[in-house]
């Protein structure tokens, strides 16, 4: 399916996009319109973030601009420059669903969205806008405002249990994270024989999908076929992930539509809402509850750190104290970093890959049997989800780095400020296992929360 496109009418051939593409999926001569090779594209949207060729109201006039805006099915309230490299928008489809009285609309928003969305409303870079975003989503008209952070905690319960089972029972190691769909697609396309190393866990977005349409449907007293599940993501590849044919564990398409952080900004403005002035509101419970572990999924190393906090308890049956929760060894944005973490009698060897451009040497080590790790996190984007292709766009490299630094700081501070910082401590997580899922990596959770991959 088409997720990323390069508009040949607008592309000037500056080749900024080719420099950041991790899979060399963009081709063309300098000074000429570039071509996207869909077979190699992992839809990460880094080209969208970097593109500098555009049409605007000021430079090209109302008629030319309006034509491109209409072509991309964007609301008339959108007035910012439209760039050559862009993600295909599903905003019109979402607006139609919000106006359909027969649909029960449920929305989730990823950890990185809340440290990006406020930038589009004049607030300082990296502003944490959890409460304002929840308020805006409710004013837009969603029937339930839930949170991907809840299912990030759920992911840790499943993935942590899966890792412990692989380590203690002789499963396939190293185990790689599976929450980044661009990374999963890269493996399926280029190294299908190695997909057995991927965790079978779905991403937090895709865990939320069937949970909202089954367990959530019971809570909300609504039929699953009436639920219209919406995801707000920093990632352009999430649209591809949601459309995968196996993502129907609820008996329906689990996620109906995905929009980016940028598109949420468009939608809020279309509805005439000023996010900056909204008083904070809470997410709906129980599927809007989350811990600091769920919140840090938005930064590179965050999935690893969250897994270590719960993995420690799963292995030792003891709890880490608050002073021991910061696994700083896995934090950072360098291409590949490793750490040896002592957990009881086990020394867990972990690795973190930041930016898919750095993955091939790791793959070669894996093939050669020299990759000395139990668990490896891989994030396609330069600094994890906070730098996703769907985040607010900044043209200046200096501004972009400043935004990334401040988004990262805000996520870690949010983690520190939350009353609970380990996924297994969440009352909502305990409740869903007690009432519905039974146990991590059990029959019911495998049915809803785990998946399979293309392989040789």
Q: Which helix (H) or strand (E) holds 182?
A: helix 181-190
pLDDT the model gives residue 399: 87
Residue 455 — pLDDT band, cuts 50, 70, 90? confident
**Residue among 194, 253, 236, 258 nearest 83 (CA):** 236
Q: Which residues are catalytic?
A: 159, 162, 179, 199, 238, 241, 246, 385
Q: Do 174 and 373 touch, CB atoms closer than 8 A? A: yes
Q: What mean pLDDT do residues 137-150 have? A: 98
Q: Do 217 and 225 touch, CB atoms closer than 8 A? A: no
pLDDT over 80 (residue 1): no
Burial 328-360 (b: 16+ CB within 10 A, else e): ebbbebeebbebebebeebebbbbbbbbbbebe
In this structure, the dihedral spanned by the alpha carbons of residues 181, 183, 184 and 188, taken in order and rounded to 10 degrees, is: 140
Beta bridge partners of 204: none
User: How far is 88 from 310, CA to CA, in rounded Å?
Assistant: 38
Q: What mean pLDDT do residues 382-396 have? A: 93
**Residue among 431, 443, 152 nearest 309 (CA):** 152
Q: Do 168 and 191 touch, CB atoms closer than 8 A? A: no
pLDDT tens-digit map of 290-346: 999 999 999 999 999 999 999 999 999 999 988 889 999 999 888 899 999 999 889
pLDDT tens-digit map of 269-279: 999 999 999 99
pLDDT over 90 (residue 261): yes
Q: Do 60 and 40 touch, CB atoms closer than 8 A? A: no
Beta strands 375-379 and 346-354: pairing type?
A: parallel
Residue 154 — pLDDT band, cuts 50, 70, 90? very high
Mean confidence (pLDDT) of the chain? 95
User: How far is 131 from 72, CA to CA, in rounded Å?
Assistant: 30
pLDDT tens-digit map of 349-367: 999 999 999 999 999 999 9
Give the global pTM.
0.95
**Residue among 108, 242, 162, 172 nearest 446 (CA):** 162
What angle (nearest 5°) sits at the alpha carbon of residue 424, between those of residues 224 and 227?
10
Reported as half-sphere exposure (CB side, CA atoms, 13 A), residue 292 has a value of 21
Query: In the chain, what percentage of residues exceed pLDDT 70?
Result: 100
């Amino acid at each position: 399916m088409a997720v990323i496109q390069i508009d040949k009418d607008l592309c000037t051939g500056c080749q900024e996009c080719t420099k950041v593409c991790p899979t060399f999926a963009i081709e063309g001569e300098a000074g000429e319109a570039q071509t996207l090779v869909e077979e190699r594209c992992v839809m990460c949207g880094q080209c969208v973030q970097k593109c500098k060729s555009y049409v605007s109201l000021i430079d090209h006039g109302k008629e030319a601009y309006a034509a491109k805006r209409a072509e991309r099915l964007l609301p008339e309230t959108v007035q910012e420059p439209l760039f050559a490299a862009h993600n295909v928008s599903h905003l019109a489809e979402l607006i139609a669903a919000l106006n359909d009285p027969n649909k029960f609309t449920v929305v989730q928003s990823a950890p990185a969205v809340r440290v990006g969305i406020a930038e589009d409303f004049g607030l300082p870079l990296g502003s944490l806008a959890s409460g304002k975003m929840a308020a805006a989503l409710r004013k837009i008209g969603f029937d339930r405002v839930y949170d991907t952070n809840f299912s990030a905690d759920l992911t840790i319960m499943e993935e942590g249990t899966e890792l412990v089972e692989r380590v203690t029972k002789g499963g396939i190691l190293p185990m790689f994270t599976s929450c980044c769909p661009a990374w999963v697609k890269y493996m399926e396309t280029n190294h299908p024989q190695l997909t057995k190393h991927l965790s079978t866990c779905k991403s937090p977005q895709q865990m939320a999908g069937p949970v909202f349409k089954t367990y959530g449907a019971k809570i909300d007293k609504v039929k699953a076929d009436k639920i219209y599940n919406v995801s707000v993501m920093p990632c352009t590849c999430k649209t591809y992930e949601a459309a995968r044919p196996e993502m129907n564990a609820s008996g329906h398409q689990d996620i109906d539509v995905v929009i980016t952080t940028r598109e949420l900004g468009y939608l809020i403005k279309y509805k005439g809402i000023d996010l900056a002035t909204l008083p904070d509101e809470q997410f709906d419970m129980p599927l809007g509850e989350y811990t600091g572990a769920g919140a840090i999924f938005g930064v590179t190393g965050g999935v690893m750190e969250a897994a270590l906090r719960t993995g420690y308890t799963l292995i030792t049956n003891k709890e880490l104290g608050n002073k021991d929760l910061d696994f700083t060894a896995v934090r950072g944005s360098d291409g590949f970093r490793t750490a040896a973490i002592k957990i009881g009698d086990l020394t867990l060897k972990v690795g973190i890959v930041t930016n898919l451009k750095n993955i091939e040497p790791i793959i070669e080590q894996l093939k050669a049997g020299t990759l000395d790790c139990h668990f490896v996190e891989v994030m396609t984007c330069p600094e994890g989800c906070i730098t996703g292709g769907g985040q607010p766009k900044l043209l200046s490299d200096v501004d972009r780095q400043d935004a990334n630094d401040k988004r990262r700081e805000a996520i870690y501070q949010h983690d520190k400020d939350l009353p609970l910082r380990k996924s297994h401590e969440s009352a909502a997580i305990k409740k869903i296992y007690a009432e519905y899922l039974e146990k991590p990596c059990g029959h019911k959770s495998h049915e809803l929360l785990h998946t399979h991959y293309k392989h040789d």
